[in-house]
Amino acid sequence: MNTGAGGRMRRAAGALLGRRARLRWVHLVLGGALLMPYWLLSVVMLGALNPDQGQLRQTLLQLTALFTSLPMAAATALVPTVRALEGAAARALCAAQRPEELAAGPARSWAARRRTALWYALHLFFGGVVAGMTLGGTPFAVVLLLSFTRTEDLARYWEGRFPGWMLTGPALGLALLLLIVATSAGCGALLARWAPALLGPTPEERLAAAERRATVLAQRNRLARELHDSVGHALSAVGIQASAAARVLRTDPDFAAEAIQAIERTTRAAVAELDAVLGLLREEEADADRPAGPTLGGLDDLLRQLARTGVTVDAELAPGLARLPAGVSREAYRIVQEGLTNVLRHAGPAPAGLRVVLAGGRLEIELTNPLGPARPSRPGGGRGLRGIGERATALRGGSTAGPSEDGTTWRLAVWLPGGGTR
């Protein structure tokens, strides 16, 4: 029981005097400082309307000026940059509950400006209250705590109002300090709760941000596919060629030398493709969508490269492939390249059949190979077929892959629209 009560007291003390409460107090005092020009202008304007006033009316005028100054403050908050400034201050000092949801840029719509104006008015109003209590009430509370002259009379006055409370000057001073601290903590907590709703992005801004994130993600996926298909194919071919050269290095040096030359050609081609892919990362937007890499016109070179690794491909290539749109031709090449790379990785130097034809206004790709002995998959593998499916889907096509019914052949089938509709 005592432990629970002690924990509650510590939490209450932290809520009133902890670091978060102190930051919010600073935020409120700054709001009070921002309120002063509007308040002084309101006092001058209201005083000019009725200059002959007594002490009571002067006090009422100052209180009235507090409320008449808020519309002027709200009007200035319609400036777009105010949201960015208030959002930065709220993130740093207000300790909002969801600071990541506060907008970082200026308000670009009238809905966002109106919400910023409401926030600004609340910030200045609460700040004026807390700053006034802090600047006016704290010195008075210190006087009461130190029991200066005539504090006993004030204590007797309040004891007469609340008999039996045994009020003294220090007790009144402590109560006043507690009231100031509690008011600051309460106003700060309210502002922190309202900050995401009033300073956060509008639904239109959230939608635009989601679209930007989707564009960036699509670009990253595209780069990942390009690197996987181009560099991954080259490394697989180089690995098999190096293994073959090592096996016959002493018994057939001519073949080993030819394999090493093939490795050199493969790596040079891979470096060229890597440069083309990394060129997509440049900041020049004009080149962001420029097709990079080979097209179906480079299939002959790809098939010759595979022949040097021991994979013989019986290819049926329809005429007219060169007339396909560059984007379709490029994606089709990558699909064929990844399919043949999978043959190399999983079936080894085995014969494969490739069929690329145009039928019914669409491009059809079919790749078959005998299923070889199971090979251990490399860590992080398994992205090839997924990348093929993503390429086909991006062009509104489709793909299927799997073993035949008798379990002796693996078949990959892909179809793409001949016009390349994306």
Q: What would the pLDDT profile of 80-94 be if each residue is shown by its tens digit?
A: 999 999 988 888 887
Q: Rounded to an integer, what distance in angstroms lies between the CA atom of residue 404 and that of residue 384?
A: 19
Mean pLDDT of all residues in 106-128: 93
Of the candidates 219, 309, 225, 295, the one whose C-alpha atom is nearest the C-alpha of residue 259 is 309
Q: Rounded to an integer, what distance in angstroms lies between the CA atom of residue 192 and that of residue 122?
A: 11
Q: Rounded to an integer, what distance in angstroms lies between the CA atom of residue 315 and that of residue 304?
A: 11
Residues 191, 123: contact at Cβ < 8 Å?
A: yes
348: left (phi over 0), alpha (psi -120 to 50) or beta: left
Q: Is the pLDDT of residue 228 over 80?
A: no
Tens digit of pLDDT for each residue in 383-405? Answer: 678 888 888 888 888 999 888 87
Q: What six digits make up the tokens of 144?
A: 């009461």
What pTM value is reported for the model?
Answer: 0.57
Q: Is the pLDDT of residue 148 over 60?
A: no
In sign, the C-alpha dihedral spanning 26, 32, 35, 37 is negative
For domain 207-417, the CATH architecture is: 2-Layer Sandwich (3.30)
Tens digit of pLDDT for each residue in 281-305? Answer: 664 444 444 445 678 888 888 888 7
Residues 6+ apart with CB under 8 A from 332: 295, 296, 324, 356, 363, 365, 414, 416
DSSP assignment letter at 377: P
Q: What six digits make up the tokens of 86?
A: 């208030």
CATH 3.30.565.10 domain range(s) in the chain: 207-417
Most distant CA atoms of the chain, gap in Å: 117
Q: How many CB atoms neighbour CB 258 within 10 A?
A: 15
